[in-house]
Amino acid sequence: MTPVDAAQRTPTTQPESMATGKTMGASRCELSRVIWRSNENMFGSGKGTLILELVDDVAWATAARHSDGHAVTVSVEAMTFFAPVWAGDIVSARAQVEGTGRTSMEIGVHVDAQRCHGTGERERIAEAHLVFVAVDDDGAPRPVRPVHPETDAEYARHRAVAIRREHRRALAAALSEVALPAPR
């Protein structure tokens, strides 16, 4: 069995309430916003920074819900845009915790747009994967509960988290062998 196939490791010093964990559905959040003309870029579509802000906001709400407190963004692992947004579109971002470490949470975000001109159906416009760490009042990392998938789709997302984690470790190891110059 590879580390990717192994079960998530849980901290050994967790309070009893932390050992039980939460389902993916318990952390799920959705935020929406309207794209206005003032949000257009020089090409007439909605600014990508608006989508990034919406993604970070819904991911934070999801992390805070799962960890029962404050959390901070550690990284945006991936942000992929599939289609532009336009003035009048209603953009909705849905997020859930898809994997956990000792203090970290990996959050998947799916972004759709309901077009103001058209059938009103939702179109997938972006997807993102972020890592958050739960922090206490002093900003120190604190343990989080494990997350438990329930559906086939959630199990697939949970497995994808393990694959991304192994990919990050392999990339870090490979880059540590390269003498990269410091940025100027």
Residue 7 lies in a domain: no
Q: What is the pLDDT confidence band of residue 2, given thresholds at 50, 70 and 90?
A: very low
Supply the pTM of this predicted model: 0.84
Do the Cβ atoms of 157 and 27 come closer than 8 Å?
no
Per-chain mean pLDDT for the chain: 89
- Angle in degrees, CA 102, 103, 104, rounded to 5: 100
Which of 9, 56, 13, 50 has its CA nearest to residue 33? 50
What is the rounded CA–CA span in Å between residue 147 and residue 66? 8
Look at residues 167, 3, 156 and name the one whose alpha carbon lies nearest to residue 75: 167
Residue 181 domain-assigned (yes or no): no
Tokens of 110: 């799916």
For the chain, the domain total comes to 1
Q: What is the mean pLDDT of residues 102-128?
A: 93
The two tokens of residue 53 are: 């802000």
Q: What pLDDT, on the 0 to 100 scale, is given for residue 181?
A: 80
User: Residue 168: inside a domain, yes or no?
Assistant: yes
Q: How far apart are CA 93 and CA 51, in angstroms?
A: 9
Assigned domain for 139 exists = yes
In contact, 69 and 142? CB cutoff 8 Å = yes
Judged against a pLDDT cut of 60, whether residue 183 lies above it is answered with yes
Domain that holds residue 81: 23-176
Residue 14 has a pLDDT of: 47
In a domain, 5, yes or no: no
Does residue 15 lie within any of the structural domains?
Answer: no
CATH number at residue 131: 3.10.129.10
pLDDT (tens digit per residue) in 11-47: 434 444 556 899 999 999 999 999 999 999 999 999 9
Q: How confident is the model at residue 1 (pLDDT cuts 50, 70, 90)?
A: very low
Are 73 and 136 in contact, with CB atoms under 8 Å apart? no
Q: Whose CA is closest to 52, among 72, 76, 34?
A: 76
Cα torsion angle, 12, 18, 19, 24, sign: negative
Inside any domain, residue 11: no
Q: Which residues contact 173 (CB under 8 A, 6 or more apart)?
A: none
How does pLDDT run across 142-169, given as a tens digit for each residue? 999 999 999 999 999 999 999 999 999 9
